[in-house]
Amino acid sequence: MRIKQVLNRFYVHNIDQSVGFYEKILNEKCNLRFKYPQANLEIAQVGNILIISGADENLQSLKDTQATFIVDFAAEFKDFLLNNGATVIKDLKKVPTGMNMTVKHLDGTIVEYVEQK
């Protein structure tokens, strides 16, 4: 059970503009970008920044989630988290990049866990 990467989540309306800006400021290229039509979102990653783009009504339900943890085995993390006082807000489900779930930690922090395929 290992956290591979922690991503900061930025919510934007213009993904092209944001990707360009963060590529320049971080001196890194966008290494992941895809449309998530089921949620009317587009998602990109530049370095340790996860850029989530969409209309306000599509972003509203996501904005309480403060980070994304890329993990090796999401199911193992689910068991660990539940045994350590966390609450699953959105259970494990398939997403374009693999599997994810959203969890509220014991301290109130909300984190998305992603197991990439």
Q: What pLDDT digit, counting tens, does each position of 66-91 carry?
A: 999 999 999 999 999 999 999 999 99
> The whole model's pTM is what?
0.91
Domain ranges, ordered by start, for the chain: 3-116
- What fold is seen in the domain 3-116? 2,3-Dihydroxybiphenyl 1,2-Dioxygenase; domain 1 (3.10.180)
Structure confidence at residue 96 (pLDDT): 87
Q: Which of left, alpha, beta for 26 (phi over 0: left; psi -120 to 50: alpha)?
A: alpha
- Per DSSP, the three-state class of 70 is strand
Q: pLDDT class for 46, splitting at 50, 70, 90? A: very high
Residue 63: CB atoms within 10 A of its CB come to: 12
